[in-house]
Amino acid sequence: MMQKIRKQIFDNHSHIGPVPGFAYYGLPEVVKPTTDYDTIDEYLGGMDEHGIDRALVLPNYGYPDSNQPFTLNPLVAEGAERSDRLLGAIWVSALPKDKDKTIEALKLIGQKGLIALKATCLLGGTLDPEGWDDESSELWNMILDAAAEHDMPIHIHTSPSGGSDIDNALAMIKKYGKRNKIHVVHMGGGVSGHIKFVPQFCDLVEDGYQIYTDLTWSVGFGSNWLLKEIEERGIGGDRVLFGSDVPWSDFASEYWKIEGASISEKLKDDIFWNNAERLYSKFW
């Protein structure tokens, strides 16, 4: 077990379930880049290994088939039902071809421990409402209405360029973020995403938007910059949540990104536990 300095750790962003290999980015052969937690027992064992007390777990994804993560919603639901240490996020999609699967996924709302939604535009579509066609708009509004009705955060993947670019995420936040809790995964993703995201984060919080983020995948300057802005301005410290993004990142680097930062112990405690407790305790 890794040395655990924090008394309590809540992992707000990690994944469960198997993902098949693929010849990503035009590789001549199939590769399997991650070591997955295929089962609930394996996932709980990983929590014990890293000293994690509770976790919000999401369907694992990365295989270029939008159907694949839907197949793991039952595993997430089973984990949340079986262990009080686990909460779950339901996979949804605003791609028109996934309409029926998303309608079925939203029926899981209300089951024990299922307290968030997760969506991405990596396989098409956009987070920007101005770019939605009629079918996509219908689905996005179905998803966002359900999240708002049940006070569930929606996690949106961000990465540079394409439909998941932070510019598109910010457009969604500015239209829906005073009604919806929107968790910006990867704080914009990459250098350009951080540079666009960090200067606006505290302003959005101050202006009443229900924006949240985690520091997973962040380049060192980006996470340090965001944490410094939060401490200097005294706002936004309740909107940053620790996540490991296992198996697509690793616990140690994500943990020490915060534990090793030159910030107050109070802010560290908030990021590692208190913010999650405030956000999710009504579901415990």
pLDDT at 137: 99
In this structure, which amino acid lies at residue 159? S
Q: What's phi and psi for 58, nearest 5 deg?
A: -120, 155
Mean pLDDT, the chain, whole residue set: 97
pLDDT for 221-278, tens place per residue?
A: 999 999 999 999 999 999 999 999 999 999 999 999 999 999 999 999 999 999 999 9
Average pLDDT over residues 24-49: 97
For the chain, the structural domain boundaries read 88-283
In this structure, which amino acid lies at residue 40? I
Q: Is the pLDDT of residue 62 over 90?
A: yes
Per CATH, is 88-283 categorized as 3.20.20.140?
yes
Distances (CA, A) of 35 to 12, 14, 149, 174: 19, 13, 36, 37
pLDDT at 71: 99
d(CA 260, CA 180): 32
Q: Which tokens is 268 given?
A: 């560290």
Contact between 69 and 61 under an 8 Å Cβ cutoff? The reply is yes
pLDDT for 208-230, tens place per residue?
A: 999 999 999 999 999 999 999 99
Give residue for tokens 């569930």: 152
More confidently predicted of 196 and 284: 196
d(CA 210, CA 228): 20
Q: Please name every residue paired with 117 in a beta bridge, in sequence order, or none if there are none.
A: 90, 154
pLDDT at 2: 59
In terms of pTM, does the model score above 0.95? yes
**SS3 state of residue 11:** strand
